[in-house]
Amino acid sequence: MGGHVYTNFKVNRFSVNKTLRRGSEQYNVVTEAAGKPALTSQHVIACCGLYSDRVAVLSGCSPEPRIVPFRGEYLLLRPEKSHLVRGNIYPVPDPQFPFLGVHFTPRMDGEVWLGPNAVLALAREGYSATDFNWEDFKEILRFRGLRKLVMRYWRLGTQEALRSLLLAAQVRQLQRFVPELQPSDVTRGPTGVRAQAMDTDGRLIEDFVFAQGEGEMGRRILHVRNAPSPAATSSLAIAEMVADKARDTFGWTTQ
């Protein structure tokens, strides 16, 4: 449909310009990235995941909710043990705790993923335990909301960190659902980073958050500040919701 995809385009500034078209004023948003040609458009939809709060601030939005990165680590069930899991196994959510907990996920390719856990990442793109970014880490430590969350769930956080280090400890958690499972039945698998939105009271944001900045520029940019899990499973429904929100916000009409 005539669209273009630009990669490695780290947005560092939004601005707005005004032109006259057919005797009326028209405003356009200019999106800039260092060392890249600027992009001009009538409207912008920003779905920036781990950087959604930083990008929102560029157009005059509040810095809250903040994004706090949590790394989720999976284990892989060895193929010869796949008979232990014949379907999805999920724990009953405990409203006292912030995350769902470990689960068993058979995949289309035959692999069975076990997990994930949830440990604080030391970088916004901290996909391994050794990934570290000093600026990200300072920002995380300064955020009052995270400090409140840590004080509230320090015991759970300590247990999650232990399970991250010791494979046997993570297997013990999984044995609550499949007692036959042994540490020798699993290997370490892939990891992901969850862009967790959090308020200053340390509460995890569990619903969608849309925001706009101020002035002519802000009114032309729609920020998706939080898109809760399950993102991949619900991606088409989430896309439809974002499109509907943009249509209502910008006054688009279907032609």
The type of residue at 154 is W
Cα atoms found within 13 Å of the Cα of residue 30, Cβ hemisphere only: 11
Q: In the predicted model, is pLDDT for residue 187 greater than 90?
A: yes
Contacts of residue 200, Cβ cutoff 8 Å, sequence gap at least 6: 64, 66, 143, 144, 145, 148
Can you tell me the mean pLDDT for 40-55? Answer: 95
Query: Over the stretch 126-177, which tens digit does the pLDDT of each residue have?
Result: 999 999 999 999 999 999 999 999 999 998 889 899 999 999 999 999 999 9
Q: In the predicted model, is pLDDT for residue 98 greater than 80?
A: no
Domain of 80: which CATH number? 3.30.9
Residues 76 and 52 in one domain: no
Can you tell me the mean pLDDT for 204-208? Answer: 91
Domain count, the chain: 2
* Structural contact between residues 143 and 66, judged by C-beta atoms closer than 8 angstroms: yes
Instruction: Tell me whether residue 5 is in a domain.
Output: no
- pLDDT: is 230 or 74 the higher one? 74
* Structural contact between residues 142 and 200, judged by C-beta atoms closer than 8 angstroms: no
Residue of 20, 30, 26 lying closest to 59 (CA atoms)? 30
Residues 178 and 226 in one domain: no
Contacts of residue 64, Cβ cutoff 8 Å, sequence gap at least 6: 53, 145, 199, 200
Share of the chain above pLDDT 90, in %: 78
The boundaries of the domain holding residue 164 are 68-197
Where do runs of H (alpha helix) occur along the chain?
52-57, 134-142, 144-152, 154-165, 167-174, 215-218, 235-250
Can you tell me the mean pLDDT for 225-253? Answer: 90
Say how far apart CA 213 and CA 38 lie, in whole Å.
20
Domain boundary among 197, 215, 236: 197
Residues 192 and 109 in one domain: yes
Cα atoms found within 13 Å of the Cα of residue 70, Cβ hemisphere only: 19
- Per DSSP bridges, beta strands 103-106 and 112-115 are antiparallel
pTM over 0.85: yes
Give residue 1's pLDDT. Answer: 81
Say how far apart CA 162 and CA 119 lie, in whole Å.
10
Give residue 232's pLDDT. Answer: 76
